[in-house]
């Protein structure tokens, strides 16, 4: 398969409004500070926990319950969780329920039933979280990924295991990842790599790889908090069997987003210090692109830096357009407009290299009207598209085209909860008389793709179309 690996142009553009100019007609009453969340299968945003009066809250926003009413408010159920969930991780399961793992001094996990307002029946004691909590904790916001066999990969501080969410048994444990601490407040990054169902050699279960990178020394938060010494962030990069590779720069509190074409983007964060108030220095302004399919040593590419520091409490999101929405950063306990690192209210749009106009001629355009938008497990679905440039479509071959599906994550504190990208299995591509292509794909199982809304992209040799929302159930 050919790819545009030599493309380099990328750009930050300041968007036209500031966060604090956005007026909201809705409000949250229980404190959602450092909570977690996810998008439920019906499109409702479900967010759990936070601080003080919100620490055991389950809150719901939007979805069918609003029935098209755009003034529909948050629906909060205080005290619904059995244990405090401050810095917990929430991830969607094949059943469409969420699991919520950990939180400060909460060494347990709970399942959130699908029915709004129903509370989890009980907490499941999880000693692993107790065992991986050190002097600085370094195990909050644990990295949780739904593996391809339906088990949960859970990474906390420097250890990881596979948990069966049906039997609640630990299936296996993995070697310690030496070199430092990876979870909050050391705040490294992690994602499950794109799940490739398109290639023939896939077996059951489908191969899964997880990356964990960045973070800091186990005592880095203590040094930052007590001595205001900002220890350099980690820049090694391990994958299962914990192969190591070096990132071009150290990064703590960064985001690791999967892009529509299967590349990864490391963005935001700091090169020194940890999460916490006034606990970091040396913002990492340079986004880094990562090519998982290239050989070790050739996988990283540094992109054009931003001018704006994005450290503690910054965030980012992949948009259907393929652009990256970048916002936030507040390194203090209150808003401070005058400071070395002021409270950041500006929003940026970052264009990864694949949005370069030079590639528009190769860019597929999805025909949303005639493409399948409701997907059913194990059934085929059709995506219609054309090429922007009629000449480009003449030499189009099937192997150049990938159909990818992105589950929109809940990104906070450097972790994108429930993030996954599937490269789906395609069965054929046909061109009709008017030059429209029809690509037939197979909807994956719910273990591979939990139910809900995905952004679907058609990707031509690394150049993605604009995304289209689809729903799988
Ligand atoms: Cu926080």
- Please enumerate, as own/partner, the contacts of 356-360 that have beta carbons within 8 Å and a separation of 24 or more: 356/7, 356/9, 356/10, 358/7, 358/9, 359/4, 359/7, 359/463, 360/388, 360/389
Q: Is the peptide bond before 228 cis (omega within 30 degrees of 0)?
A: no
Distance CA 157, CA 177 (A): 9
**CA 89 to centroid of ligand 1, rounded, Å:** 13
**CA 33 to centroid of ligand 1, rounded, Å:** 6
Mean predicted confidence (pLDDT) in 352-380:
95
The DSSP-derived string for 393-460 is TTT--GGGEEEEEEEPPEEETTEEET-EEEE-EEEEEEE-TTS-EEEEEE---TTTS-SEEEEEEEEE
**CA 343 to centroid of ligand 1, rounded, Å:** 14
Q: At residue 262, what are phi and psi to the nearest 5 degrees?
A: 95, -5
For position 6, what pLDDT does the model report? 39
Contact 166, 151 (CB under 8 A): no
**CA 74 to centroid of ligand 1, rounded, Å:** 21
Distance CA 14, CA 12 (A): 7
Q: For residue 237, is pLDDT > 70?
A: no
For position 4, what pLDDT does the model report? 41
Distance CA 148, CA 245 (A): 24
Domain boundaries, the chain: 11-355, 359-472
Percent of the chain with pLDDT over 90: 79
Which helix (H) or strand (E) segment holds residue 128: the answer is helix 127-131
For position 204, what pLDDT does the model report? 76
Average pLDDT over the chain, rounded to an integer: 91
For position 109, what pLDDT does the model report? 98
CA 241 to each of CA 166, 209, 222, 386: distance values in angstroms, whole numbers, following the listed order: 26, 10, 30, 42
Q: For residue 132, is pLDDT > 70?
A: yes
pLDDT digits (tens, 9 = 90+) for 445-469: 999 999 999 999 999 999 999 999 9
Give residue 3's pLDDT band: very low, low, confident or very high (50, 70, 90): very low
Ramachandran sector of residue 197 (left: φ over 0; alpha: ψ -120 to 50; beta: rest) = alpha
**CA 55 to centroid of ligand 1, rounded, Å:** 13
Does the domain spanning 11-355 belong to CATH 2.40.10.120?
no
**CA 90 to centroid of ligand 1, rounded, Å:** 15
Which helix (H) or strand (E) segment holds residue 127: the answer is helix 127-131
pLDDT digits (tens, 9 = 90+) for 288-330: 999 999 999 999 999 999 999 999 999 999 999 999 999 999 9
**CA 413 to centroid of ligand 1, rounded, Å:** 6
**CA 136 to centroid of ligand 1, rounded, Å:** 15
Give residue 1's pLDDT band: very low, low, confident or very high (50, 70, 90): very low
Report which of 445, 363, 372, 443 is spatially closest to residue 401, judged by C-alpha positions: 363
Mean predicted confidence (pLDDT) in 184-199:
94
**CA 18 to centroid of ligand 1, rounded, Å:** 21
Contact 4, 359 (CB under 8 A): yes
For position 5, what pLDDT does the model report? 39
pLDDT digits (tens, 9 = 90+) for 22-78: 455 678 999 999 999 999 999 999 999 999 999 999 999 999 999 888 778 999 999
Distance CA 255, CA 156 (A): 17
**CA 37 to centroid of ligand 1, rounded, Å:** 14
Q: For residue 369, is pLDDT > 70?
A: yes
What's 336-381 look like in SS3?
Answer: CCCCCCCCCCEEEEEECHHHCHHHHHHCEEECCCCCCCEECCCCEE
Q: Which residue has the higher pLDDT, 119 or 16?
A: 119
Give residue 434's pLDDT band: very low, low, confident or very high (50, 70, 90): confident
**CA 157 to centroid of ligand 1, rounded, Å:** 17
For position 200, what pLDDT does the model report? 58
Contact 198, 402 (CB under 8 A): yes
Task: Assign domain 359-472 one CATH number from 3.50.50.100, 3.40.50.1860, 1.10.3720.10, 2.60.40.10.
Answer: 2.60.40.10
């Amino acid at each position: 398969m050919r790819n545009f690996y030599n493309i380099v142009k990328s750009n930050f553009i300041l968007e036209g409004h500031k966060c604090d100019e956005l007026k909201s007609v809705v409000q949250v009453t229980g404190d959602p500070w450092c909570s977690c969340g996810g998008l439920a299968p019906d499109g409702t945003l479900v967010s759990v926990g936070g601080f003080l009066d919100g620490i055991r809250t389950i809150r719901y926003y939007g979805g069918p319950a609003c029935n098209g009413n755009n003034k529909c408010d948050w629906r909060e159920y205080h005290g619904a969780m059995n244990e405090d969930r401050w810095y917990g991780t929430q991830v969607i399961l094949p059943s469409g329920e969420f699991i919520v793992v950990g939180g400060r001094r909460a060494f347990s996990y709970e399942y959130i039933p699908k029915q709004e307002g129903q509370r989890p029946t009980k907490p499941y004691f999880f000693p692993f979280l107790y065992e991986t909590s050190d002097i600085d904790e370094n195990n909050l916001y644990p990295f949780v990924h739904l593996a391809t066999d339906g088990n949960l990969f859970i990474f906390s501080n420097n250890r990881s295991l596979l948990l069966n969410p049906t039997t609640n048994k630990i299936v296996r444990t993995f070697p310690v990842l030496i070199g430092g601490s990876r979870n909050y407040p050391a705040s490294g990054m992690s994602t499950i790599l794109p799940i490739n169902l398109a290639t023939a050699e896939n077996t059951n279960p489908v191969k899964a790889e997880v990356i964990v990178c960045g973070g800091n020394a186990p005592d880095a938060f203590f040094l930052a908090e007590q001595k205001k010494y900002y220890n350099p962030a980690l820049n090694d990069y391990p994958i299962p069997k914990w192969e190591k590779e070096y990132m071009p720069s150290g990064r703590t509190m960064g985001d690791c987003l999967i892009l529509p074409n299967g590349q990864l983007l490391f963005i935001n964060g700091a090169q020194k210090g940890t999460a916490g108030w006034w606990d970091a220095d040396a913002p990492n302004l340079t986004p880094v692109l990562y090519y998982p399919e290239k050989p070790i040593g050739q996988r990283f590419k540094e992109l054009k830096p931003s001018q704006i520091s994005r450290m503690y409490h910054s965030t980012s999101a992949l948009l259907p357009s393929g652009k990256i929405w970048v916002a936030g950063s507040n390194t203090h306990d209150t808003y401070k407009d005058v400071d070395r690192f002021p409270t950041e209210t500006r929003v940026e749009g970052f264009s990864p290299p694949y949005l370069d106009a030079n590639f528009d001629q190769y860019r597929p355009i999805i025909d949303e009207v005639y493409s399948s938008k409701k997907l059913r497990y194990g059934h085929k679905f059709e995506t219609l598209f054309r090429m922007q440039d009629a000449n480009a479509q003449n030499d189009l071959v099937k192997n150049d085209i990938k159909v990818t599906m992105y589950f929109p994550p809940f990104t906070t504190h450097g972790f994108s909860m429930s993030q996954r990208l599937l490269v789906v299995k395609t069965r054929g591509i046909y061109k009709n008389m008017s030059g429209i292509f029809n690509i037939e794909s197979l909807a994956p199982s719910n273990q591979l793709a939990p139910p809900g809304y995905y952004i679907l992209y058609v990707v031509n040799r690394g150049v993605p179309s604009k995304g289209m929302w689809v729903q799988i159930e």
